[in-house]
Amino acid sequence: MSLRRRDLDVAAKGNPVPGALARLARPLRRAGFLRGEGPAAGPVALDRSRIFVLPTRAGWTLGALLLAMLLGSVNYENGLGLLLTFLLGSLAVVSILHTHRNLSGLRLAPGRTEPVFAGEAARFAILLDNPGGTRRAVALRPRARNGGREGEAADLPPGASAVELLRPAARRGRLALGPVVVETRFPLGLARAWSVFELPLGCLVYPRPGPPHPWPAPTGSDREGEAAAPSGVGQGDFAGIRRHHPGESPGTVHWKASARAQELLSKHFLGEQGAQLWLSWDDLPGLGTEERLSRLCRWALEAHGSARPWALRLPGFQAGPDRGEAHLRRCLTALAEFEP
């Protein structure tokens, strides 16, 4: 199994080891073996240069056992014993080829990843393209140390399929999947074939929503002082029709009008304008950054549920007042990526 020579010069740079030694150390240092290669832009195809095979612990044990059997057979001049030893040895060697083939040719591509809140598990979808027959007991797992437990092995059907990798998302921000290990020990469990690769997969992690907390005072023009509770969609007086914004609740769509106008229009209510919610970083003095973000996150979710227009204001960011999924996403993303 050969290693690629990419990134080699980068690694060698700034290293004062003299030439000969560096050449010796090179294969070890670049050990694509352990770290995997840099992230690939597109799909990754597992081929000879990417798959590594080494005996498992059972394989090493068998090696020792075969040595003992060989010595015993030679000593007792037992031809059949030798034949048994060689048969088992050949079986193990042939199984190594099959283990390698169980991965070889597999193609992996990044799939979609939905954002999650901190404290949940991030789900990374990986698309598999298996051009051969069923591959048995292939396991995928993130290589990161906190990447969860040993990947559970599954059978890969022929054709396209998808797997989801879970990683705990502890902190808000962008969580990269990082290197992924795909491995198999099929068919005999004596050898392990694996490949480490990296796909451009990241997951947006929103702040963990804080505990429920009363909303800040609405800052609308005519309803000052009201601490409104979340209310249903379309309350208030009907005020007219306006263009539907993607992300607005489908419940607000005025279907009849839309049919006539050949585009989506939504109902517009008077009361909404008056009950604007302003969620502001500045309203929460005396709290740490993360607590503030957590509370804002909670408020944003509740405001979204209330179907009232709401706005979020952070240092260097302002969105709304607006409603709908797109608005919520935009605000949550801002919260996730906020840097004080």
Q: Binding to other proteins by residue 112, rule CB under 8 A? A: no
Between strands 44-45 and 121-130, the pairing is: unpaired
| 285-299 as b/e: b if 16+ CB within 10 A | eeeeebebbbbbbbb
Q: In what order do the strands lie in the sheet with 159-168?
A: 44-45, 107-110, 121-130, 159-168
The three-state (H, E, C) secondary structure of 121-150, written as one string: EEEEEEEEEECCCCEEEEEEEECCCCCCCC
Q: Binding to other proteins by residue 235, rule CB under 8 A? A: no
Nearer CB in complex with other proteins: 87/326? 87
Nearer CB in complex with other proteins: 29/107? 107
Point out which span in 93-101, 164-172, 225-233, 310-318 binds other proteins (CB under 8 A). 93-101
Say if CB 169 and CB 121 are below 8 A apart: yes
| 189-223 as b/e: b if 16+ CB within 10 A | bbbbbbbbbbbebbbbbbbbbbeeeebbebebeee
Q: Binding to other proteins by residue 216, rule CB under 8 A? A: no
Residue with tokens 């040895």: 89
Nearer CB in complex with other proteins: 152/325? 152
The contact mask relative to other proteins for 123-162 (x = CB under 8 A, - = no) is --------xxx--xx-x------------xxxx-xxxxx-
Residue 213 CB, shortest distance to other proteins, in Å, is: 41
The contact mask relative to other proteins for 46-75 (x = CB under 8 A, - = no) is -----------xx--xx--x---x-xxxxx
Say if CB 213 and CB 294 are below 8 A apart: no
Nearer CB in complex with other proteins: 74/239? 74
Nearer CB in complex with other proteins: 56/273? 56
Which strand (E) or helix (H) includes residue 5?
none
Nearer CB in complex with other proteins: 89/216? 89
CA-based R_g, the chain, Å: 30
Q: Binding to other proteins by residue 82, rule CB under 8 A? A: yes
Q: Binding to other proteins by residue 87, rule CB under 8 A? A: yes
Nearer CB in complex with other proteins: 97/326? 97
Residue with tokens 């694509």: 32
Residue 45 CB, shortest distance to other proteins, in Å, is: 12
Q: If phi over 0 gives left and psi between -120 and 50 gives alpha, with beta otherwise, what is residue 8?
A: alpha
Residue 177 CB, shortest distance to other proteins, in Å, is: 23
Residue 149 CB, shortest distance to other proteins, in Å, is: 13
Q: Binding to other proteins by residue 107, rule CB under 8 A? A: no
Write the CB contacts of 103 (distance below 8 Å, at least 6 apart in sequence): 46, 51, 135, 138, 182, 183, 184, 193, 194, 195
Residue 60 CB, shortest distance to other proteins, in Å, is: 12
The residues of the shown chain that bind other proteins, judged by CB under 8 A, are 57-58, 61-62, 65, 69, 71-91, 93-95, 97-98, 101, 104-105, 131-133, 136-137, 139, 152-155, 157-161, 185-190
